[in-house]
Amino acid sequence: MSGNRVARTLVGVLAGAALGVAELLFLCVAWPASLFASTRPAAGRGLARLTALERRRLSRWLGHDAEPGGGGYGFLAARAALGVVAGYVLAAGMFLTGLLLAGGLWAVATGQGEPVAVNLPGVRLVTDTAILGLSNAAFLLVLLAAATAVAGAGERRLAGRFLGPGRQEVMRRRIAELTATRSGIVRAVDDERRRIERDLHDGVQQRGVALAMLLGRARHSADPARTGELVGQAYTESRRLLDELRSVAWRIYPTALDELGLRAALAGVAERSGGPVTVHYGLAGRPVSEVETALYFVAREAITNAIKHAGAGDILVVLSEDEETVSVAISDDGAGGADPSGGGLSGLARRVLALDGSFAVDSPPGGPTRITATLPKEAPCG
């Protein structure tokens, strides 16, 4: 900790000690007064003023800029106790350090230092009061700086507990969150690429091989009837190949989402699902592109899982909104037991978190399952 920061923290803690005395006096009067309806407003105003003073002191001297809110009598009581104790310890340390420093300097300036014998096991030293006073003063200064740092950290921790984290802590958490979600998105993209590769290898490629084999056999067949039969089979296989390509392309990204919007895209998911899916669309307008895409993939993955893994007989998709957020909730009556850490759901969670949203999975064994994603209407920048 730099000297300037130590000095600022020391001033803040000492100011907190003086304010703590005032807070203790206030609590002795206002806390009982708050039990009576007639005096409760006055006690509340005093509490608000003292909390505002604490916020200004924490912001100016201790670097804790919390958002408005929090506090209360519990905060003032804990803060006052900590402030008075810490202030007393630091003030006493400063007074003792000043005495030793002044005495040592006076002895050096006047030459009135007296010899002092220091006897240790195997060691015998002779010093004088001036050197002893100055060395003890230097040692106490180090202890005082450490005690100041501890007191400041305690003040900030207490403020974070009652008033909320400061702006620097919020920024630190935000940076950590963005770092985690960025790496999560990279993993999700890699997982999606592997899934696309599996779809192409297991579906499209196999049908392409089958089509090539049929055309090759037809090319080398000498029997016109057999050739016609093989060409017919090749034609059927080519249609299946086209269907497979459309299916893979639809799973990667549906063009209907851009062209017709989320309602139409989810209607397509419901039609292709092969099960009873009901969609309640409660959005007044189209969300921004990133949010709309996330809502679509959450709903599609949840529907696919419910039919493929849970054997659901009824699936309900509900989209709703408020002033700041849009939400999608997918409920099914399947077997439950969905694992939030599984590849599909964890990828969805990373996608939602990257947009400052929240993602929740409630799927007890035996069902029912409910998957919810809530996202801000405006996607975060950068």
> Do 12 and 159 share a structural domain?
yes
Q: Residue 375's pLDDT is what?
A: 92
Is 367 a domain residue? yes
Is 172 a domain residue? no
> Do 148 and 25 share a structural domain?
yes
> Do 185 and 108 share a structural domain?
no
Domains in the chain, number: 3
| CATH code at position 279 | 3.30.565.10
Is 301 a domain residue? yes
- End-of-domain residue from the set 132, 165, 198: 165
> Do 11 and 148 share a structural domain?
yes
> Does residue 34 or residue 141 have the better pLDDT?
141
Mean pLDDT of the chain: 82
pLDDT value at 43 more than 90: no
Using an 8 Å Cβ cutoff, are 363 and 337 in contact?
A: yes
> Do 347 and 206 share a structural domain?
no
> Do 308 and 278 share a structural domain?
yes
> Does residue 372 or residue 131 have the better pLDDT?
372
Q: What is the mean pLDDT of residues 215-229?
A: 81
| 207-233: b (≥16 Cβ within 10 Å) or e | bbebbeebbebbeeeeeeeeeeebbeb
Confidence band, pLDDT 50/70/90 cuts, at residue 382: very low
> Do 85 and 190 share a structural domain?
no
> Do 223 and 118 share a structural domain?
no
- End-of-domain residue from the set 252, 280, 298: 252
Is 381 a domain residue? no
Beta strands in 286-340 (DSSP E): 315-321, 325-332
Confidence band, pLDDT 50/70/90 cuts, at residue 188: low
Q: What is the mean pLDDT of residues 79-108?
A: 91
> Do 45 and 100 share a structural domain?
yes
State percent of the chain over pLDDT 70: 87
Is 200 a domain residue? yes
Which 3 state secondary structure label does DSSP give 340?
Answer: coil
Confidence band, pLDDT 50/70/90 cuts, at residue 253: low
- The C-alpha atoms of residue 263 and residue 270 are separated, in whole angstroms, by 11
Residues linked to residue 332 through DSSP beta bridges, in sequence order: 315, 369
Is 170 a domain residue? no
Q: Give, in degrees to the nearest 5, the angle at Cα 157 between 153 and 163.
A: 135
pLDDT value at 333 more than 70: yes
pLDDT in tens, 335-363: 888 888 776 788 788 888 878 889 999 98
Is 171 a domain residue? no
| 137-155: b (≥16 Cβ within 10 Å) or e | beebbeebbebbeebbeeb
Confidence band, pLDDT 50/70/90 cuts, at residue 17: very high
Confidence band, pLDDT 50/70/90 cuts, at residue 373: very high
Q: What is the mean pLDDT of residues 191-196?
A: 68
Confidence band, pLDDT 50/70/90 cuts, at residue 380: low
Q: Residue 228's pLDDT is what?
A: 82
> Do 126 and 15 share a structural domain?
yes
**Amino acid code (one letter) for 233:** Q
State percent of the chain over pLDDT 90: 21
Q: What is the mean pLDDT of residues 186-191?
A: 64
- End-of-domain residue from the set 118, 137, 165: 165
Map tokens 């002092």 to a residue: 116
pLDDT value at 199 more than 90: no
Residues of the domain holding 205: 179-252
Confidence band, pLDDT 50/70/90 cuts, at residue 88: very high
> Does residue 194 or residue 184 have the better pLDDT?
194
> Does residue 44 or residue 184 have the better pLDDT?
44
Q: What is the mean pLDDT of residues 267-290?
A: 86
> Do 277 and 362 share a structural domain?
yes
Lowest pLDDT segment from 45-49, 66-70, 175-179, 227-231:
175-179
Is 382 a domain residue? no
> Do 76 and 7 share a structural domain?
yes
Q: Residue 379's pLDDT is what?
A: 63
pLDDT value at 300 more than 70: yes
